[in-house]
Structure 1
């Protein structure tokens, strides 16, 4: 108990509180502005913590990571342009709510669900770090390959206009991820002699291009069509029914709890991350929906599902990081650099060598959750007014941030070129019903999928793949086959129920 009290004492110290608040404010800014991703912001912020104390430095970075996840929903709901790739699933239900004049309600659901998922995952981290880390250790290459196959198949089936097109999109994303030096032989692959491609295609440029820039092209096209036809651009709908009733809270509560569990699982298993966690949570919520739900037309349960899962991933990804030194997400991997910068090595010995720091970090994470709620609630109406800004103002500014966000990753014009090219590709894909999101997820998990697949093949060649040795992998293979059969039948029968990326 004394360690817990000391931890809260360190987290509530003036320097730590200031660090947390500044981190949350910066995180919201990063999340709201399309093109500035959470990993990019953390990478920029890590050197800034050099002169801070360890607890203040980690608290500052955790505030950025947490708030950027919550802030990413703002652009997704108001502009159909997610600030974070993991917020892309929020577009499916959040943007229709905004178009129906319920932007503030959608933002409230996103904020409360984000804080709920974040606090629950933080409590799980505090209480079950060591036991749950043992489960993560069981996820070897074979299991990871099976899990990623299942995730890609499931998401492909719920994106685009058909399972086949979703799978093609995911495969193209995997193909793009192979560009660069071979991880084993260092042989250039698909680089065509371009030195800038030796390190692979820049992740942030691909994300910004396929999501933000593509959406701006679509929005601009729709605006120009209306102008050419001589029709007036419709004003933003009148805001109505913005408060959350007790009945609505009770209705979305089970979805938020269920999705928080999905996010925690996605965080514990290294490699999945918030994007897959958010899409899986949305898929499960949609599949378990009740008659009367308005999926694809503005269902608040969909917003609750994606945001609860998205924000639960980050604290859960600290479980394998703190217990075994293995980061469960990109953000957690960047935080390893911050720990090392302050002379702390994440792993099993961290609890024995730095117990005060660990309890201080736990307390800082809870304080950051409260700060995220307060700052998000105060700024909610200000964020909601983004929807009142004319499209002729929004598009140029978002495009500017697309250029800026792409350039900041590598500080080269090559990243901007990649962003423009992928933006055009995303526009064409949307035109013909191919899933941009599945393409992006395939690209993100591509490097890890390739390494896991290669390692699995080596294991199969040397030791064989006995079902008794890999029960988790067998389960996910069966689930993958079952999901493929179900989605194929739906595609052939043209039954509704899949996600439409244009909404």
Structure 2
């Protein structure tokens, strides 16, 4: 009965209103280049802590889903992906716009993003509970291995070299040791500052690295002549968003393939929509009887990449909720949100907080249905969002970063952590270092350390137990495979874009 109530709670007026607000905010963030889903969820997370978990997550789930969908609007209209997940949508979407089919392309983006989102939600609903039951048997060695796998996968799929990713992953682990020793209660690296007893506050650093750093980077690379003028956008004609049923029918095989592949990619710790969309576009091209049209305005190509955009969400949430390991950068932020609420993602969540799990599943379904109606209804005015002054956006985001960081604990030190995180994120961006592994190392550091030390205490200091348990050994094998696979990543990307 509690599970049913959790599913139905999405229809409570306030929960539904916050979901609508999240979808609207995410659509604006997704359309504007540079303002990613990760940034949006990170910046808005502090604003949800005064709300009950169901209402707070309604806003964040709305932002997550709609930002990935809306990123395709910019990719289609001006050949600039609004979010990294929409990179592959530029391959065919912009070509359709140039030949006068902008409306149809926007319709495809909305319809197929929703298809991918709903399919991935179905996978989340079907597989999350069995996976959580399986994970209940995990011991310290398994959780240690899974945590390390998450960090190495984030390093493997991030832009830049794998070595840089691993360096920052280790740096995040080291920073996570600041504060009270989780096993013995000793002070570590606090330098007598009581504000460091609880360690480095995760959410402010995350807001800085994904919010403030992006604004600093945009300011540093700003060129006035690069701004899209209203004259350019006014020349785009948005016609009908629907096409003939025969064209929809032709996309069925590639849509099914993209739905399945994107969920699998999303479930891999550290992977995301950009990887999924490129892989799915490449596979759709191989499957198609009209492969020569790909990259020139192919409906099949655009449908496959749009399906993959939102298809990763259910897989990423499945990994996050069942194992406590983020499937992508956005779910890393969502883990921080749950922890502030006092909820630890993982198999125990499916025992202690089943209603919230069902609420999240219901929110996913409802968010996609809202996107379907909202996206089709507003296609003709989508260009208006692109006319927002960029400097206004910068000021707004910076204010939200400062206010949100301070409001977490009413602490000036959290603002300091946010600014330091922003400066580090900006430096990482300039030096082509991926920030994701650092954030993941900081988030999972205590989990890695506590399970390693707990496992060693159970075996009296022997590491043998970490290698003679089948699940642990399998995960270590996946870690090695992920690092080897990362060196093939560029080759996969190149194959997908040819």
TM-score (norm 1): 0.68
> Paired residue for 1:307, among 310, 322, 325?
310
1:408 aligns with 2:414: no
1:150 aligns with 2:153: no
Question: How is 1:354-503 mapped onto 2 (pairs within 5 angstroms)?
Answer: 366-367=365-366, 370-371=369-370, 373-375=372-374, 377-378=376-377, 385-461=384-460, 465=464, 470-487=469-486, 497=493
Question: How is 1:13-162 mapped onto 2 (pairs within 5 angstroms)?
Answer: 16-28=11-23, 31=26, 34=39, 37=42, 40-46=46-52, 58=54, 60=55, 63-73=58-68, 90=85, 115-116=114-115, 119-120=118-119, 122-124=121-123, 131-162=130-161
Q: CA deviation at 1:437?
A: 2.3
Q: CA deviation at 1:278?
A: 5.7
TM-score (norm 2): 0.69
Distance (whole Å) between structure 2 residues aligned to residue 108 and residue 443 of structure 1: 40
> Paired residue for 1:255, among 240, 258, 263?
258
DSSP 3-state at the match of 2:50: helix
- Residues 1:276 and 1:145: Cα distance change in structure 2 (over 3 Å): farther
Distance (whole Å) between structure 2 residues aligned to residue 9 and residue 161 of structure 1: 42
Which segments of 5 or more consecutive residues in structure 1 lack a partner in the other structure?
48-57, 81-86, 267-271, 322-327, 339-344, 499-503
Whether the 8 Å contact between 2:276 and 2:312 is mirrored in structure 1 is yes
Q: CA deviation at 1:45?
A: 0.9
DSSP 3-state at the match of 2:159: coil
Distance (whole Å) between structure 2 residues aligned to residue 385 and residue 317 of structure 1: 36
Q: CA deviation at 1:21?
A: 2.1
Distance (whole Å) between structure 1 residues aligned to residue 64 and residue 421 of structure 2: 24
Q: Which residue of 1 aligns with 2:172?
A: 173
Most deviating of 121-130 and 170-179: 121-130
**CA shift digits 1:97-152 (9 cap, x unpaired):** 99999799898677656644554455456556654332122333222322333332
- Residues 1:288 and 1:364: Cα distance change in structure 2 (over 3 Å): closer
Most deviating of 95-104 and 61-70: 95-104
Q: How many residues align?
A: 442
DSSP 3-state at the match of 1:44: coil
Distance (whole Å) between structure 1 residues aligned to residue 172 and residue 281 of structure 2: 25
Whether the 8 Å contact between 1:276 and 1:441 is mirrored in structure 2 is no
Whether the 8 Å contact between 1:78 and 1:387 is mirrored in structure 2 is no
Which segments of 5 or more consecutive residues in structure 2 lack a partner in the other structure?
30-38, 76-81, 296-300, 325-333
1:235 aligns with 2:233: no
Whether the 8 Å contact between 1:129 and 1:320 is mirrored in structure 2 is no
RMSD: 4.9
- Residues 1:261 and 1:195: Cα distance change in structure 2 (over 3 Å): same
